[in-house]
Structure 1
């Protein structure tokens, strides 16, 4: 099968030994940001991975191409190895991955694994997929660097591995095909800057993350910190890192209730999951506390709740950036191109902008009451697909 691509894999293995000594330095950089930032040298010039896969370029969602350019001709098995599949974002992303894979007639099997937030299970899942002869593994690495040795072994076995959103560290183009994500630190900084400005530059701020220790939330936190450091009137209450919520509304409600009890006044929140933020909003309501300025990624219920409370609480404002489930599409494309020895010049890193802003008449939050609360309108799925998914 073409997944072996002996010539391309030999090229990768030859370069692997030469760069191994410096890979640790790149790993530190990758883990500190979760993605290449827009001003990194690789992001400006790009580099070539095995099979002419560009690595490190920056672009926007419109730069994602049609999958037909990467399908190839021979039968292929692809897999989505999820580090945690227990919330709506992950379910939507899985559905989008499967819908995209279905467009290639030669993809004969699509597999899915859910590590349930357990790093050891994530390692076992990838090893099992390799043993089953999977050609492409797209993976959300919640376990960070702990997954890197397993991913390196899968790459050496001839599997095209593409982590997305959650970084395993290491070096894209060497340890795996590429890492695909938004510019995570900039995502956090943009939302924090909006939140701080809307707070009037003063008050107590909290940053809500997901599973404890995951690299994605830490990268968002780093971006938030850069905005906080430029605003001396802001006190970041969680100085030791993102507040763990497991990206679940119920857990978020419990955690935020605890924060309200501990700190009393919270004036602003930046969250890396809008779907989980709805639980936090309920915690403020239950405590009888004013809702803070709140920014996150988009979620139908997050927008709808703003419309519910905005009249009674005119200082409550929200902003969102895209939940960017669609980056899984670019990750699949890169994996297919590498397996088939085809070129792929789609971006590795995607710049996001604020798409909803309750203070801007041109970007008002979008609430679709006929869609499920968990729907993500920017996900890449159609309204019909979202309705079917959440039946």
Structure 2
């Protein structure tokens, strides 16, 4: 367990062997995924011996995710970093790639299996703790009672399930709080439009929603707009950071007295640690960077010292904690 400041300069792990690296994404179409891909490619560019950088997008399709990894192995890639959205369904394919000599490093979404045997390592924040911390803040801001909803991403995501597990841990400690989606995270596909549609349905179904925990701040903006469109009070809301998520709070805070927000880092930067692990394994270089990272609340509208950070000159989709510079974010979102 460690923190972001323990991630080292990539030069320690590049080695000298000519390498082909790949980022196999389980789903690539939202802003978080685009930022993460850009970070991966920018980090790989720092090693002169990386001759080729490949990218695949499974588009939320488990069979395509399997096919993508098999295709990368057939192209003789040396390292595959993958967001394993499909979870354990990907494990046999990952093990097959490992047996073929490819250094595979899953990140954020776990495929199960055994790190160090079935693949190099699994890199992520402590997902369950992330969900529990945000839920605890949300429940406190709700006054310790009321109805709570947890918004996830694509159906079956191992990452969203991990966050949900943390949320349920927190709810169990508060008998006056009801988790409305007790059977699992609400699927939003991590898209603002879909989130708005889903939230509109929940607003219609439930007479009172007092708090939201979401695993994607960029998608949450759609949910907030659903409350505004319905003429309903915007509830307490926690997620990972996104520029527009913060800016919307400033826009509505004076007319929505119950509306408070908190965020933890969107931690796109874990992709750099995952690449480092793969490089070190491929080059036979020791790597003592953490595999699991602790995250803390970085924005809290109830705490003046942690006031939400809105940058009007940056695109709404910008993630200020991502690891990309302001200029890189502007270029990415044009």
Counterpart of 2:296 in structure 1 is 353
TM-score after normalising by structure 2: 1.00
1:189 and 2:132 aligned: yes
1:265 and 2:199 aligned: no
Please list every run of at least 4 consecutive aligned residues from structure 1 whose deviation after the TM superposition is greater than 2 angstroms.
Answer: none
Aligned residue runs from structure 1 range 1-391, under 5 A: 58-391=1-334
Distance apart, 1:265 and its partner CA: 1.1
Distance 1:149 1:204 in 2: 40
Q: Secondary structure at the match of 2:82?
A: strand
TM-score after normalising by structure 1: 0.85
Which blocks of at least 5 consecutive residues in structure 1 are unaligned?
Answer: 1-57
Distance 1:300 1:204 in 2: 27
Distance apart, 1:313 and its partner CA: 1.1
Residues 235-281 of structure 1: per-residue CA shift (max 9 Å, x gap):
10001000000000000000000000000210000000000000000
Distance 2:280 2:93 in 1: 22
Distance apart, 1:115 and its partner CA: 0.3
Q: What RMSD over aligned residues (CA atoms) do the two structures have, in Å?
A: 0.4
Distance apart, 1:314 and its partner CA: 2.0
Counterpart of 1:33 in structure 2 is none
Residues 323-342 of structure 1: per-residue CA shift (max 9 Å, x gap):
00000000000000000011
Distance 1:253 1:314 in 2: 21
Distance 1:334 1:105 in 2: 17
Distance apart, 1:74 and its partner CA: 1.6
Residues 158-216 of structure 1: per-residue CA shift (max 9 Å, x gap):
00000000000000000000000000000000000000000000100000000001100
Q: Secondary structure at the match of 1:59?
A: coil
Distance 1:210 1:344 in 2: 32
Distance 2:17 2:281 in 1: 13
Residues 60-83 of structure 1: per-residue CA shift (max 9 Å, x gap):
000000000100102100000000
Distance apart, 1:316 and its partner CA: 0.6
Which blocks of at least 5 consecutive residues in structure 2 are unaligned?
Answer: none
Distance 1:74 1:148 in 2: 28
Distance 2:235 2:173 in 1: 21
Distance apart, 1:230 and its partner CA: 0.1
Counterpart of 1:31 in structure 2 is none
Distance 2:207 2:231 in 1: 11
Distance apart, 1:302 and its partner CA: 0.1
